[in-house]
Amino acid sequence: MRLALVCQGMQENQERVFSFGRTSCLPKPNQYVKMLVGEYRDFAFDESRAPQNRGLWRQEIFKTDANCPLDLEIGTGNGFHFGHYASKNKDRCLVGIELKFKPLIQSIRRPLRVGLKNARIVRFDAKEIEKLFADQELNNVMIHFPDPWELGPQWKHRLISDEFLKKIHSIQRSGSFVEFKTDSANYFRWTLERFVRSEYQIECVTTHLHQSRLVQGNFVTAFEDIFMRKGLRIHYIKVIKN
Contacts (CB under 6 A) with ligand SAM, residues 154-213: 159
Q: Does 126 contact ligand SAM by CB under 6 A?
A: yes
* Surface-to-core class of residue 63, CB atoms within 10 Å of its CB (0-12 exposed, 13-18 middle, 19+ buried): exposed
Cβ distance to ligand SAM smaller for residue 99 or 232:
99
Catalytic residue among 147, 162, 183, 225: 147
Q: Does 125 contact ligand SAM by CB under 6 A?
A: yes
Over the range 133-153, which residues count as b (16 or more CB within 10 Å of their CB) and which as e? beeebbbbbbbbbbebbeeee
Q: Does 75 contact ligand SAM by CB under 6 A?
A: yes
Handedness of CA 101, 33, 19, 72 (dihedral sign): negative
Of 120, 144, 238, 241, which one interacts with ligand SAM (CB under 6 A)?
A: 144
Of 25, 116, 205, 222, which one interacts with ligand SAM (CB under 6 A)?
A: 222
Active site residue 147: yes
Nearest residue to 112 (alpha-carbon basis) of 94, 137, 98, 99: 94
Cβ distance to ligand SAM smaller for residue 75 or 83:
75
Nearest residue to 237 (alpha-carbon basis) of 176, 189, 198: 189
The footprint of ligand SAM on this chain (CB under 6 A) covers a number of residues equal to: 21
CB of 74 to ligand SAM, least distance (A): 6
Q: Report the distance separating Cα 30 and Cα 43, nearest Å.
A: 19
Of 46, 47, 183, 224, which one interacts with ligand SAM (CB under 6 A)?
A: 224
Give the helix ranges, DSSP H, for the chain.
2-12, 31-37, 80-88, 101-113, 162-171, 185-196, 222-229
Q: Does 223 contact ligand SAM by CB under 6 A?
A: yes
Q: Does 127 contact ligand SAM by CB under 6 A?
A: yes
Near ligand SAM by CB under 6 A, which window of 44-52, 98-106, 112-120, 202-210?
Answer: 98-106
The residue ranges of DSSP E strands in 110-198, in sequence order, are 119-123, 141-144, 177-182
As annotated, the active-site residues are: 147
Residues that bind ligand SAM (CB under 6 A): 74-77, 97-100, 103, 125-127, 144-147, 159, 221-224
